[in-house]
Homo-oligomer: A and B are copies of this chain.
């Protein structure tokens, strides 16, 4: 695996580990300070800006620990940004999440998190004969 993708995946894993530990300081430090951040919790509307986003996480962390496990994470790097798509396994069910990262001071920081429920497993379709070549 290319090392840049590995760096992004390590930051993504740190995000879920801090979440599972309920370690708000470590969690906070993973979010960008300068870049504009946003967050969409499952079923919620969008939260914009560090203040609103971190207030939501404080409320979530304050309501007790969360058994959460990140699964099947894959990272795609787009220059100084990257995104990870992964599953989130919780006691209450299965979610799918997008996490967007950018570099700040040479370190990957999270700028955007959206998680939503999965009701339908993806079926692998046969390759359509009309598929455009990539």
Contacts and interface: CB of A to CB of B under 8 A. Distances in A.
In which size bucket is the chain A interface?
35 or more
Given A114-B116, A134-B51, A46 B79 contact: no
B79 A80 contact: yes
Contact of A78 (B28, B33, B111): B111
Contact of A122 (B45, B96, B114, B118): B45
A45 B38 CA distance: 22
Given A125-B55, A131-B55, A40 B85 contact: yes
A122 B36 contact: no
Nearest to A41: B120
Contacts of A116: 40, 42-43, 114-117
A74 to B, nearest CB: 7
A128 interface: yes
Contacts of A66: none
